């Protein structure tokens, strides 16, 4: 299984914390998989400390249990998961920077290997640059030297320009009442798009 990045780990920890707060039963392995070795040891130590505490100090009421520091297994798990969530949150920026560096290294490796393979085949420089950038596009990585891929053809641009002119001409010939209705319709469409975007 691939290693979780900090954001994914935080999402899963939050989900497990929420489940525990709701009182749902969670298997120990589902909690253990989200913890590193040190956190797993903290959980084991905290559970063992609670067993010892309950053996040595008897309490009859809830107030006595709370005063002595008794905790249920669920409460101990919650404490450890919350600490793990805080640790993951603290490491979020470092994890993002690490992933960004890995992406840049992967981009450079793909570009250079494709570039030098094309040069070895005797192709011209501009052809090899295009081949290397195409390899980056296939790998869903940004192209080198900010070369964007324009997927819109000249004909599409012309059609959109004519369409915009027609809309403007139709709008200029509308009555005040028709313009008001059109503005209301466009306002509703913008609100619907805004709600779908959130």
- Cβ contact 13:88 at 8 Å: yes
Which of 26-35, 95-104, 115-124, 141-150 shows the lowest per-residue confidence on average (mean pLDDT)?
141-150
> What pLDDT does 190 receive?
84
Q: Which of 32, 5, 4, 38 is nearest to 16 (CA)?
A: 32
Long-range contacts from 6-12, C-beta under 8 angstroms, 24+ separation: 6/88, 6/89, 6/91, 6/92, 6/94, 6/95, 6/96, 7/92, 7/95, 9/34, 9/88, 10/85, 10/88, 10/89, 10/92
> What pLDDT does 146 receive?
54
Q: Percentage of the chain with pLDDT > 90?
A: 29
Stronger pLDDT, 74 or 59, i.e. the higher one: 74
> What pLDDT does 2 receive?
62
Which of 9-13, 67-71, 75-79 shows the lowest per-residue confidence on average (mean pLDDT)?
67-71
pLDDT value at 148 more than 60: no
Integer Cα distance of 112 and 131 in angstroms: 10
Which of 8-12, 42-46, 53-57 shows the lowest per-residue confidence on average (mean pLDDT)?
53-57
Mean pLDDT of the chain: 86
Backbone angles phi, psi at 163, to 5 degrees: -60, -40
Which of 70-74, 80-84, 90-94 shows the lowest per-residue confidence on average (mean pLDDT)?
70-74
Q: How confident is the model at residue 41 (pLDDT cuts 50, 70, 90)?
A: very high
> What pLDDT does 45 receive?
92
Mean pLDDT of 170-198: 83
Q: How confident is the model at residue 101 (pLDDT cuts 50, 70, 90)?
A: very high
> What pLDDT does 197 receive?
61
């Amino acid at each position: 299984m691939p290693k979780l990045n900090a954001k994914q780990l935080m999402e899963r920890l939050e989900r497990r914390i929420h489940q525990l707060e709701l009182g749902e039963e969670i298997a120990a392995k589902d909690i253990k998989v989200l913890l590193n070795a040190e956190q797993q040891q903290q959980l084991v130590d905290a559970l063992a400390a609670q067993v010892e505490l309950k053996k040595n100090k008897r309490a009859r009421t809830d107030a006595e249990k709370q005063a002595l520091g008794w905790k249920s297994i669920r409460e101990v798990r919650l404490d450890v998961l919350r600490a793990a969530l805080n640790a993951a949150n603290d490491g979020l920026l470092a994890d993002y920077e690490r992933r960004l560096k890995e992406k840049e290294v992967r981009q450079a490796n793909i570009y250079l290997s494709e570039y030098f393979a094309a040069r070895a085949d005797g192709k011209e420089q501009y052809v090899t640059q295009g081949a290397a950038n195409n390899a980056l596009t296939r790998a869903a990585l940004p192209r080198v030297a900010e070369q964007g891929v324009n997927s819109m053809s000249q004909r599409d641009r012309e059609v959109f320009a004519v369409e915009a002119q027609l809309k403007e001409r139709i709008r200029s010939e509308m009555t005040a009442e028709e313009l008001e209705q059109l503005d209301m319709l466009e306002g509703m469409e913008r609100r619907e798009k805004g709600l779908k975007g959130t």
